[in-house]
Amino acid sequence: MTRQGETRVYVGLGSNQGDRVSHIRQALSAIASLPGVCALRSSSVYETRPMGPQDQPDFLNAVCRFDYTGSAASLLQQLQSIERGHGRQQGGPRWGMRPLDLDILLYGEELIDTPDLQVPHAGLGMRSFVLWPLAELSPGLHVPGLGSVESLRRNCQHFGIRVHEEG
Protein backbone atom coordinates (compact mmCIF):
# COMPACT_ATOMS: atom_id res chain seq x y z
CA MET A 1 0.00 0.00 0.00
CA THR A 2 1.36 3.40 -0.97
CA ARG A 3 1.42 6.37 1.37
CA GLN A 4 -0.01 9.81 0.66
CA GLY A 5 1.82 11.41 -2.27
CA GLU A 6 3.36 8.15 -3.49
CA THR A 7 2.62 6.33 -6.73
CA ARG A 8 3.16 2.61 -7.27
CA VAL A 9 5.45 2.26 -10.29
CA TYR A 10 6.55 -0.76 -12.32
CA VAL A 11 9.69 -0.54 -14.45
CA GLY A 12 10.88 -3.14 -16.95
CA LEU A 13 14.60 -3.86 -17.23
CA GLY A 14 16.26 -5.55 -20.18
CA SER A 15 19.77 -6.30 -21.45
CA ASN A 16 21.26 -8.36 -24.26
CA GLN A 17 24.69 -6.79 -24.67
CA GLY A 18 27.77 -7.11 -22.47
CA ASP A 19 27.47 -8.49 -18.94
CA ARG A 20 23.69 -8.75 -18.94
CA VAL A 21 23.34 -9.84 -15.31
CA SER A 22 25.59 -7.02 -14.11
CA HIS A 23 23.64 -4.43 -16.12
CA ILE A 24 20.36 -5.59 -14.53
CA ARG A 25 21.79 -5.71 -10.99
CA GLN A 26 23.48 -2.32 -11.26
CA ALA A 27 20.33 -0.75 -12.72
CA LEU A 28 18.24 -2.10 -9.82
CA SER A 29 20.71 -0.61 -7.36
CA ALA A 30 20.69 2.73 -9.21
CA ILE A 31 16.88 2.84 -9.29
CA ALA A 32 16.68 2.03 -5.58
CA SER A 33 18.94 5.00 -4.83
CA LEU A 34 16.95 7.55 -6.88
CA PRO A 35 15.35 10.39 -4.90
CA GLY A 36 11.70 9.62 -4.20
CA VAL A 37 12.04 5.83 -4.62
CA CYS A 38 11.20 3.56 -1.70
CA ALA A 39 10.20 -0.06 -1.06
CA LEU A 40 11.78 -1.43 -4.26
CA ARG A 41 11.16 -5.10 -5.01
CA SER A 42 12.28 -6.97 -8.09
CA SER A 43 11.19 -10.09 -9.91
CA SER A 44 13.34 -13.00 -10.92
CA VAL A 45 15.45 -12.50 -14.02
CA TYR A 46 13.97 -14.10 -17.14
CA GLU A 47 15.66 -14.97 -20.41
CA THR A 48 13.90 -14.72 -23.77
CA ARG A 49 14.68 -14.79 -27.43
CA PRO A 50 14.76 -11.32 -29.02
CA MET A 51 11.38 -9.93 -30.00
CA GLY A 52 12.79 -8.28 -33.12
CA PRO A 53 15.74 -9.34 -35.27
CA GLN A 54 16.92 -12.81 -34.28
CA ASP A 55 20.61 -12.23 -35.15
CA GLN A 56 21.38 -10.95 -31.65
CA PRO A 57 21.88 -12.47 -28.18
CA ASP A 58 18.94 -13.45 -25.99
CA PHE A 59 17.61 -10.84 -23.58
CA LEU A 60 17.60 -10.92 -19.82
CA ASN A 61 14.54 -9.16 -18.40
CA ALA A 62 13.13 -8.33 -14.99
CA VAL A 63 10.56 -5.97 -13.53
CA CYS A 64 10.89 -3.88 -10.40
CA ARG A 65 8.11 -2.32 -8.37
CA PHE A 66 8.48 0.66 -6.05
CA ASP A 67 6.67 3.60 -4.55
CA TYR A 68 7.65 6.98 -5.97
CA THR A 69 7.04 10.60 -4.97
CA GLY A 70 8.06 12.36 -8.20
CA SER A 71 6.47 12.84 -11.60
CA ALA A 72 6.51 10.28 -14.39
CA ALA A 73 8.46 12.72 -16.59
CA SER A 74 11.12 13.15 -13.90
CA LEU A 75 11.41 9.38 -13.44
CA LEU A 76 11.77 8.91 -17.20
CA GLN A 77 14.68 11.36 -17.30
CA GLN A 78 16.39 9.60 -14.40
CA LEU A 79 15.95 6.17 -16.01
CA GLN A 80 17.36 7.45 -19.31
CA SER A 81 20.38 8.76 -17.41
CA ILE A 82 20.94 5.29 -15.91
CA GLU A 83 20.69 3.78 -19.42
CA ARG A 84 23.28 6.24 -20.78
CA GLY A 85 25.56 5.34 -17.87
CA HIS A 86 25.51 1.78 -19.17
CA GLY A 87 26.38 2.81 -22.71
CA ARG A 88 22.88 2.97 -24.19
CA GLN A 89 22.82 5.03 -27.37
CA GLN A 90 19.57 6.86 -28.14
CA GLY A 91 18.19 6.48 -31.64
CA GLY A 92 19.56 2.99 -32.30
CA PRO A 93 17.66 0.43 -34.36
CA ARG A 94 14.27 -0.56 -33.03
CA TRP A 95 14.46 -3.85 -31.12
CA GLY A 96 18.24 -3.91 -31.58
CA MET A 97 20.97 -4.93 -29.16
CA ARG A 98 21.36 -2.81 -26.04
CA PRO A 99 23.32 -3.00 -22.83
CA LEU A 100 20.36 -1.70 -20.81
CA ASP A 101 16.76 -0.82 -21.51
CA LEU A 102 14.56 0.69 -18.77
CA ASP A 103 10.86 1.25 -19.44
CA ILE A 104 8.14 2.68 -17.23
CA LEU A 105 5.47 0.01 -17.59
CA LEU A 106 2.87 1.34 -15.16
CA TYR A 107 2.63 4.58 -13.20
CA GLY A 108 -0.16 4.01 -10.71
CA GLU A 109 -3.48 3.94 -12.51
CA GLU A 110 -2.45 6.76 -14.83
CA LEU A 111 -2.85 6.67 -18.59
CA ILE A 112 -0.06 8.77 -20.11
CA ASP A 113 0.28 9.45 -23.83
CA THR A 114 2.93 12.04 -24.68
CA PRO A 115 5.59 12.08 -27.40
CA ASP A 116 8.16 10.91 -24.81
CA LEU A 117 6.16 8.51 -22.68
CA GLN A 118 3.28 6.09 -23.10
CA VAL A 119 1.89 4.37 -19.98
CA PRO A 120 0.86 1.60 -19.83
CA HIS A 121 3.94 0.87 -21.93
CA ALA A 122 3.14 0.18 -25.60
CA GLY A 123 2.93 -3.54 -26.25
CA LEU A 124 2.90 -4.45 -22.54
CA GLY A 125 -0.07 -6.78 -23.04
CA MET A 126 1.74 -8.84 -25.70
CA ARG A 127 5.16 -9.34 -24.09
CA SER A 128 5.87 -12.38 -21.96
CA PHE A 129 9.13 -10.85 -20.77
CA VAL A 130 7.07 -8.15 -19.06
CA LEU A 131 3.96 -10.11 -18.08
CA TRP A 132 5.71 -13.04 -16.37
CA PRO A 133 7.76 -10.82 -14.01
CA LEU A 134 4.73 -8.55 -13.41
CA ALA A 135 2.64 -11.59 -12.43
CA GLU A 136 5.43 -12.76 -10.11
CA LEU A 137 5.56 -9.40 -8.30
CA SER A 138 1.81 -8.65 -8.25
CA PRO A 139 -0.33 -11.66 -9.27
CA GLY A 140 -3.65 -9.80 -9.05
CA LEU A 141 -2.42 -6.70 -10.87
CA HIS A 142 -4.84 -4.91 -13.20
CA VAL A 143 -3.35 -2.99 -16.14
CA PRO A 144 -5.40 0.16 -16.86
CA GLY A 145 -7.21 -0.18 -20.17
CA LEU A 146 -6.00 -3.77 -20.75
CA GLY A 147 -7.25 -6.04 -17.96
CA SER A 148 -5.60 -8.45 -15.55
CA VAL A 149 -1.98 -9.48 -15.92
CA GLU A 150 -3.06 -13.14 -15.71
CA SER A 151 -5.50 -12.88 -18.62
CA LEU A 152 -2.94 -10.97 -20.69
CA ARG A 153 -0.27 -13.56 -19.87
CA ARG A 154 -2.46 -16.43 -21.06
CA ASN A 155 -2.87 -14.79 -24.47
CA CYS A 156 0.60 -13.53 -25.34
CA GLN A 157 3.48 -14.92 -27.39
CA HIS A 158 6.08 -16.51 -25.10
CA PHE A 159 9.38 -15.75 -26.93
CA GLY A 160 10.85 -18.87 -25.28
CA ILE A 161 10.66 -17.33 -21.79
CA ARG A 162 12.42 -19.10 -18.94
CA VAL A 163 13.83 -18.13 -15.57
CA HIS A 164 17.51 -17.29 -16.00
CA GLU A 165 19.79 -19.65 -14.15
CA GLU A 166 23.13 -18.05 -13.32
CA GLY A 167 25.96 -20.47 -13.88
Kindly report, residue by residue over 46-94, the tens digit of the pLDDT: 998 887 666 678 899 999 999 999 999 999 999 999 998 887 666 655 5
Question: What pLDDT score does 157 carry?
Answer: 78
By the 8 A CB rule, do 104 and 76 touch? yes
Domain of residue 108, residue span? 7-163
Helix (H, G, I), strand (E, B) or coil at 130: helix
Query: Of the given ranges (37-46, 67-76, 139-148, 155-164), which has the lowest mean pLDDT?
Result: 155-164
Q: What integer pLDDT is reported at residue 95 of this predicted model?
A: 60
- Asked if residue 147 is part of any domain, the answer here is yes
What confidence score (pLDDT) does residue 3 get?
Answer: 72
Task: Give the phi and the psi of residue 16 in degrees, each rounded to 5.
Answer: -140, 25
Question: The domain that contains 79 carries what CATH number?
Answer: 3.30.70.560
Quick check: is 101 catalytic? Answer: yes
Judged against a pLDDT cut of 80, whether residue 24 lies above it is answered with yes
Q: Whole-angstrom Cα distance, residue 63 to residue 138?
A: 11
Catalytic (active site) residue 65? no
Residue 112 has what pLDDT? 94
Residue 98 catalytic? yes
Active site residue 8: no
pLDDT at 167: 43
The answer as to whether 2 is a domain residue is: no
Give residue-wise pLDDT tens across range 91-144: 655 566 678 999 999 999 999 999 999 999 988 888 899 999 999 999 899 999
Identify the DSSP state of 84: H
**Residue of 8, 88, 116, 127 with catalytic role:** 88
Name the 3-class secondary structure at 104. strand
Asked whether residue 1 is domain-assigned, the answer is no
| Catalytic residue from among 20, 67, 101, 127 | 101
